[in-house]
């Protein structure tokens, strides 16, 4: 397959580009486009055969459900059995934006989207390119992250091209994604509602509307292997090629432990994922990658997946990552590090 690249300037698609993308969706083709979280690999959410192509292109397990992306609240009528008041309140507060809601699906939503579940995950992205595409096509677009299954999600066109060139019909180059980690997923079909995947909307923000909301045990427990109701719940996910280890606790203790591990593994190419506060403190590593300031977790989240990709570029043997507090955006960052590390996380240092 020859992949067509659409280069977008100033976040504005012209009519010819929009026609090309909308026609591709209607013909059951695959289109990669940027969102505010990461790049998405999209297909017509009503076309079962097209959605199956997503799994083929990514090498994605069939039990991992997809998220439907919409442009208008009115589209919910075709996608869910009921749009409860709580969901409307969340939509008013957080849409468009990085929040995905799980609701009871309608019969129009194919099993290929929901992995056979009776629920469907839906969000309304805020990225201007994604919004233009969704409005112009008039379709709900099923779109997981645009990477090969299991690899770190792509936040830049370069990484999409590396993974999916020749496997999809169109890639829309829209520069860098903003958040760098995927949307928060909230299950509204259970009582109390539950966060299945932390992301750009924090638990603290959600508790202002749903004080009783809970966080799924699988978010920070690598041993939890239930059938996933949400993307990103797989045990090993967002994973680089090298073995990754994450160390969480008091920062001086974390630095000391990582330096001790570096000395233990002399002769190996070791990457350290550090922060502004510690980047000068590591000795003997092959490469130290600065994720940003601990006072700016948006910056850290934005840089995380690209840092893991850089570790692949450098063909390192081991990755040692600093952990973060389980509050605010730190919950989402630690969830991604847990998955990238395959559960190899040491707490309480």
DSSP string across 243-262:
EEEEE-SSHHHHHHHHHHHH
Whole-structure pTM value: 0.93
Residue 222 is predicted with a pLDDT of 60
Residue 150 is predicted with a pLDDT of 85
* CATH 3.50.50.60 applies to domain 4-219: no
CATH number attached to the domain at 243-346: 3.40.50.11030
Q: Where are the domains of the chain?
A: 4-219, 243-346
Q: What is the pLDDT of residues 86-136, one digit of tens each?
A: 999 999 999 999 999 999 999 999 999 999 999 999 999 999 999 999 999
Question: And the tokens for 132?
Answer: 């233009």
Strands of 194-197's sheet, edge to edge? 4-7, 170-173, 31-34, 39-44, 141-142, 67-69, 119-123, 99-104, 184-187, 194-197, 214-215
Q: What is the pLDDT of residues 223-280, one digit of tens each?
A: 555 555 555 555 456 789 999 999 999 999 999 999 999 999 989 999 999 999 999 9
Q: What is the pLDDT of residues 72-90, one digit of tens each?
A: 999 999 999 999 999 999 9
């Amino acid at each position: 397959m020859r992949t067509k690249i659409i280069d977008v300037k100033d976040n504005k698609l012209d009519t010819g580009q929009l026609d090309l993308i909308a026609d591709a969706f209607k013909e059951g083709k695959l289109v990669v486009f940027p969102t505010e979280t990461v790049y998405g690999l999209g297909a017509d959410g009503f076309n079962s055969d097209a959605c199956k192509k997503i799994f083929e292109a990514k090498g994605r397990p069939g039990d991992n459900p997809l998220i439907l992306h919409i442009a208008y609240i009115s589209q919910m009528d075709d996608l869910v059995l009921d749009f409860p008041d709580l969901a409307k309140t969340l939509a008013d507060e957080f849409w468009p934006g990085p929040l995905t809601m799980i609701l009871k699906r309608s019969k129009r939503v194919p099993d290929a989207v929901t992995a056979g579940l009776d629920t469907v995950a839906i969000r309304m992205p805020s990225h201007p390119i994604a919004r233009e595409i969704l409005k112009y096509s008039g379709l709900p677009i099923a779109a997981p992250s645009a990477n090969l299954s299991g690899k770190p999600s792509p936040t830049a066109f370069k990484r999409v091209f590396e993974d999916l060139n020749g496997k999809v019909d169109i890639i829309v180059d829209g520069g860098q994604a903003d958040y760098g980690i995927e949307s928060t997923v909230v299950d509204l079909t259970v009582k109390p509602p539950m966060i299945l995947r932390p992301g750009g909307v924090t638990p603290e923000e959600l508790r202002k509307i749903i004080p009783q909301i809970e966080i799924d045990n699988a978010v920070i427990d690598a041993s939890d292997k239930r059938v996933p109701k949400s993307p990103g719940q797989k045990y090993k996910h967002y994973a680089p090629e090298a073995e990754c280890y994450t160390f969480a606790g008091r920062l001086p203790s974390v630095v000391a432990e990582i330096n001790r591990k570096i000395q233990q593994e002399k002769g190996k190419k070791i990457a350290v994922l550090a922060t502004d506060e510690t980047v000068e403190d590591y000795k003997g590593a092959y490469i130290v990658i600065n994720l940003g300031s601990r006072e700016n977790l948006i910056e850290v989240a934005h840089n995380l997946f690209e840092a893991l990709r850089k570790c692949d570029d450098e063909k390192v043997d081991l990755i040692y990552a600093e952990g973060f507090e389980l509050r605010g955006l730190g919950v989402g960052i630690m969830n991604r590090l847990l998955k990238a590390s395959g559960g190899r996380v040491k707490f309480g240092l």
